[in-house]
Amino acid sequence: MIRARGLVQTFSTRQGRTKAEVRAVDGVDLDVEEGEVVGFLGPNGAGKTTTLRILTTLLRPTAGTATVAGYDVATQPQDVRRSIGYVSQAGGAFSGARAGDEVVDHGMLYGLPRSVVEKRGKELFEQLDLPGLWTRMPRNMSGGQKRRLDIVMGIVHDPTLVFLDEPTTGLDPQARANLWEHIRALRERRGATVLLTTHYLDEADALSDRIVIIDHGRIVASDTADNLKAQVAGDLVDLEVADPLRLADAAERLVRLVDDERSVEVVDGHVRARVPRAGRAVPGLLRELEASGITLESVEVRRPTLDDVFLALTGRSLRDADHAPGPDGAAAPPVPAGTPTGTPTTTEGALR
Amino acid sequence: MSGFLRDSSIVFRRQLRMNLRNPAWVIIGMLQPILYLLLFGPLLEPLIGQFGATNAYTFFVPGMLVQLGVFGAFFAGFSLIGEWREGVIEAERVTPASRTALLAGRLYRDLLQLFVQALILIGLGDLLGMDASPIGLVLGVLLTLLLGGACAAASNALALTTKSEDVMAPVINMVMLPVLLLSGILLPMAIGPAWLERASDFMPIRHVVDGVRASFAGDLASSGLLWGGLWSVVLFALALWWGTATFRRENA
Ligand SMILES: Nc1ncnc2c1ncn2[C@@H]1O[C@H](COP(=O)(O)OP(=O)(O)OP(=O)(O)O)[C@@H](O)[C@H]1O
Ligand SMILES: [Mg+2]
């Protein structure tokens, strides 16, 4: 559905007298199959929006090529536009017009008859929980309502390829969950392909078949959430040792399972390390510990989070900058103090 | 082409709907021609003999018409900046609608406004004793619409290029001053010294004003109308091309 090769976008910005060049997108290759939901993940300024604007024909890339829905973005922009829907980060409804009018006009610009757009627009208002707001002006809507209106506008013409730029910013947990359902339904009911950008790891994790991580204009990883987690960090194994005098012994056993012995931490009666394929290694470890008479109070094996992955790839934590609760209101599982996610400085050493 | 008409009329209806919802836009728009005629007309009446014309209103209404067209249209772009800031332009540009249609729909609104103002001006001028040839009226209004369309398109292009009211306002002011002074919009350049008249030859809008004036006076065979017509067509084509280019430009 999408195939991009070597996309580069440079902007020249003026700061006083000096002219600086920003390489917003710096050699992006991207493939998205039909029916896939791909999460495009990256921190502020990584180049997500710029990449999307290239793929939606709004920007002509400085270098590189892209075909979207089978058409070349540079030479067949008209055909690309006909095949896609785009919800921009800023939205597209004018604050001083009526919501319903904006939706209908936008849909009609895709060549659809008024009656069809109006019917579908009103359906989407119901589905995205905007009842009674059809004649309201966006300036009199809450931020989350306005965001949902933007989404209605972007998909009112029923596109089979949808670009969503941070669709859930400003939505409360319930509205977020509702939108997730809707995005899943887009794919399941219509076989739509979705490329969505997000800062929220839980969102990318929950929604996407595949996650593409971008940083400084480059793709640093592209895989399923599970593979990413498996490939980078290894699982966190946490042994709580009953007898403080045996901590060093326990640590020594754990070191044998990891590549880098510096990554084994001993804190507060706990021994911790990131162990590749911990599911296989831990039973053997436990037998060994038992054989040498080391008693454990508890054993914990935790799968790495996407945040760990992100940190390992970019050296920065996404969650530090941007923390969002999950759709059900529960934050990500609490992480014990001293573990990698809580203290990025120790983790960096641990992961590398 | 039918796609173009459909797209541009969707944009037009949207713009008109938003403007009509703003009573100030409607009232000020209708009041402008009335004020020109009632407050400025009497001032000019005693001067008419000096210009070698007989009917003051036949002579001055064309100037007021062009003034309305040019100055109203220069400000048309300001609303576009607000739309751009809210992402409306980007949302429109991502649809398959033709870029020219996105501009044209906005021009229709400006032209409709100008047309209604022209009707008010001419109707009121008629009541006050204007004596213009009917076919001259039609041609004169046509030239004015072309010129007004050109100014509105240029204003929209400028708006999308600068993307800032603070930058756009001084530019518009800088353009308007020579237009006002060198076009003979209210007073004909012919009464000034020769060097000033030569300078005004380089102001295209002056030729359009002369053309409208000639056509109101019934001089349909005059070179004034010919040059005025040529210039308004040229200006319109250039501005439309510029406006479309800014809507098409990837970075808009
Ligand atoms: N029109 C522009 N002119 C100059 N620089 C730009 C322009 N658009 C984007 N940039 C720069 O390009 C880089 C990438 O911006 P982009 O909007 O693609 O980031 P993003 O990943 O979408 O970030 P965010 O998560 O904040 O939305 C940033 O450094 C930004 O400042
Ligand atoms: Mg962005």
CATH number, residue A34: 3.40.50.300
In a domain, A136, yes or no: yes
* Residue A311 belongs to some domain of the structure: no
Q: So what's the pLDDT on residue B219?
A: 84
Average pLDDT of chain A is 84
Ligand 2 being an ion, which residues bring their Cβ within 5 A of it? A 48-49, 89
Whether residue B86 and residue A106 make contact (CB cut-off 8 A), yes or no, is no
Mutate to test the pocket of ligand 1, among A11, A198, A220, A316 (most ligand atoms within 8 A of CB): A11
Of A98-107, B43-52, B67-76, B105-114, the range with the lowest mean pLDDT is: B43-52
Pairing status of strand A71-72 against strand A63-68:
antiparallel
pLDDT for position A29: 94
φ, ψ for residue A57 (rounded to 5)?
70, 10
Q: Is B97 on the interface with A (CB under 8 A)?
A: yes
In DSSP terms, A41 is beta-bridged to A198, A213
CA atoms within 13 A on the CB side of B243: 26
Q: Find the domain containing B157 and state its range.
A: 2-251
Amino acid A169: pLDDT? 86
- What is the Cα–Cα distance from A334 to A342, expressed in whole angstroms? 10
SS3 of residue B224 by DSSP: helix
Domain boundary pick from A229, A259, A284: A229
Same domain, A224 and A251: no
Q: Does A32 map to a domain? A: yes
Pairing of strands A63-68, A37-41: unpaired
Question: Cβ of B187: how many Cβ atoms within 10 Å?
Answer: 14
Domain match, A34 and A156 both: yes
Residue A188's pLDDT is 87
CA dist A133 to A99, A138, A140, Å?
Answer: 7, 9, 10
| The domain boundary residue, chosen from A203, A229, A255 | A229
Give the model's confidence band at B161: pLDDT under 50 very low, under 70 low, under 90 confident, else very high.
very high
CATH of the domain at A254: 3.30.70.980
Domain boundaries, position A224: 2-229
> A204 pLDDT exceeds 80?
yes
Question: What integer pLDDT is reported at residue A274 of this predicted model?
Answer: 83
Q: How far apart, in Å, are the Cα atoms of A261 and each of A40, A230, A266, B14, B208? A: 34, 19, 12, 67, 85
Counting the structural domains of chain B, the total is 1
Q: Is residue A330 part of a domain?
A: no
Would you say how long chain B is, in residues?
252
**Which residue's CA lies nearest to atom 26 of ligand 1?**
A44
Indicate whether A170 belongs to any domain: yes
Share of chain A above pLDDT 90, in %: 44
CA of A46 to the centre of ligand 1 (A): 7
SS3 B92: helix
Percentage of chain A beyond pLDDT 70 is 89
Q: Which residues of B touch A58 (CB under 8 A)?
A: 90, 93-94, 250
Contact B134, B63 (CB under 8 A): no
Task: Report yes or no on A322 lying in a domain.
Answer: no
Same domain membership, residue A262 and residue A198: no
Per-residue b/e over A299-323, b at no fewer than 16 CB within 10 Å? Answer: eeebebbbbbbbbbbbeebbbeeee
Mean pLDDT lowest for which of A17-21, A329-333, B87-91?
A329-333
- Interchain CB contact of B250 with A (< 8 Å): yes
User: Is A98 inside any structural domain?
Assistant: yes
Tally of domains in chain A:
2
* Rounded Cα distance, A273 and A19, in Å: 48
Same domain as A158, residue A262: no
Choosing from A278, A303, A328, the residue where a domain stops is A303
Subunit contact A101:B17, Cβ cutoff 8 A? yes
Query: B interface mutation test: which of A50, A60, A94, A112 has the most B CBs within 10 A?
Result: A94
| B3 in contact with chain A, both atoms CB, cutoff 8 A | yes
Overall average pLDDT of the B195-210 stretch: 88
Q: Is A56 contained in some domain? A: yes
Whether residue A90 and residue B97 make contact (CB cut-off 8 A), yes or no, is no
The edge-to-edge listing of strands for the beta sheet with A71-72 is A18-32, A2-15, A63-68, A71-72
What is the least distance, in Å, from the CA of A351 to any CA of chain B? 41
Tell me, yes or no, whether A223 and A238 share the same domain. Answer: no
Task: Say whether pLDDT at A330 is over 60.
Answer: no
Residue B48 has pLDDT above 90, yes or no: no
Ligand 1 binding residues, C-beta < 6 A: A 11, 13, 22, 24, 42, 44-50, 89
Q: Do B91 and A106 touch (CB under 8 A)?
A: yes
Pure H helices in chain A: 48-55, 77-83, 99-108, 114-127, 143-155, 173-190, 201-207, 225-232, 247-255, 278-291, 306-314, 318-321, 344-351
**Inter-chain touch A108–B96, beta carbons under 8 Å:** no
Q: What is d(CA A140, CA A297) in angstroms, rounded to the nearest whole number? A: 57
- Our CA-based measurement puts residue A231 at a distance from the nearest CA of chain B, in whole angstroms, of 38
Residue A318 has pLDDT above 90, yes or no: no
For β-strands A37-41 and A210-215, DSSP reports them as parallel
Are residues B153 and B107 in contact, defined by beta-carbon separation less than 8 angstroms?
yes
Q: Indicate if A210 and A263 belong to the same structural domain.
A: no
Q: Report which of A115, A95, A101, A77 is spatially closest to residue A153, judged by C-alpha positions.
A: A101
**Least Cα separation, residue A128 to chain B (angstroms):** 20
User: Which residue of A12, A26, A49 sits with most ligand 1 atoms within 8 Å of its CB, as the best mutation to test the pocket?
Assistant: A49
Q: Between chains, do B94 and A91 touch, taking CB under 8 Å as contact?
A: no
A92/chain B closest Cα distance in angstroms:
5
Residue B100, CA distances (Å) to A253, B18, B90, B104, B134 in order: 72, 20, 14, 6, 33
Q: Does residue B244 surpass a pLDDT of 60?
A: yes
Alpha helix (H) ranges present in A173-212? 173-190, 201-207
Say if residue A8 is in the same domain as residue A145.
Answer: yes
Say which ligand is closest to the CA of A24: 1
Cα-to-centroid distance, A147 and ligand 2 (Å) = 15
Token code pair at residue A57: 């024909």
Q: Which residues contact A155 (CB under 8 A, 6 or more apart)?
A: A85, A87, A124, A162, A186
Q: Which residues from B are below 8 Å from A111, CB to CB?
A: 3, 6, 96
What's the mean pLDDT in A153-159?
A: 94
Q: How many CB contacts within 8 angstroms connect chain A with chain B?
A: 70
Quick check: A351 pLDDT over 80? no
